[in-house]
Amino acid sequence: MSLLELVVACAILLVLATASIPIARNTIKWKKEEELRWDLRQMREAIDRYKDASDKGQIQVKAGTEGYPEGLDSLVKPTPLTGTAADKRIRFLREIPMDPITKNKDWGLRSVQDDTDSTSWGGQDVFDVYSKSSGTAMDGSKYSDW
């Protein structure tokens, strides 16, 4: 009887282990997607804060950028304030986050002058940021469309 019980117990454990692998994969993918959404939100909010500061005249911007940062590096490096606080500097982002899907810091950028679905950056300014991943999310949408 004990050999039969051992075989049955091993079979049950094998079935449970096999069922848990897809659940673990989906959990990992879900966590990466959650991190990607968070990173995109943080960078877009930093771009909006930069634009607000330039519209209020708190920072000096180059002509032709329409008040948006020239690149993601402009959000990270300290930007000098204008006016009475000319000796102070402000940073809009601590660091450029790593794309959790592609595992690098190379993000797709769009400027105001680009089309809304453009995949190439004109280089004038940064109006929007997106993932360069060609993968598909769990909900069926493409990561690059987020």
Other C-beta atoms closer than 10 Å to the C-beta of 131 total: 21
pLDDT tens digits along 66-120: 888 988 998 999 988 887 666 888 899 999 999 999 999 989 888 877 766 667 7
pLDDT tens digits along 17-36: 888 888 888 899 999 999 99
Contacts of 26 (CB under 8 A, 6+ apart): 138
Tell me how far CA of residue 77 lies from CA of 67, 94, 95, 101, in angstroms. Answer: 16, 8, 9, 25
Q: Give residue 43's Cα distance to chain centre.
A: 7
Exposure on the CB side of residue 74, measured as CA atoms within 13 A: 22
The secondary structure of residue 71, as a DSSP letter, is S
In the predicted model, what is the mean pLDDT of residues 113-137?
Answer: 80
Ranges of beta strands (E only) in the chain are 79-80, 89-90, 108-110, 128-130
Domain residue limits, the chain = 2-134
Task: Decide if pLDDT at 4 tops 80.
Answer: yes
The pLDDT of residue 51: 92
88-91: which pairs have CB atoms within 8 A and are 24 or more residues apart? 90/53, 90/58, 90/59
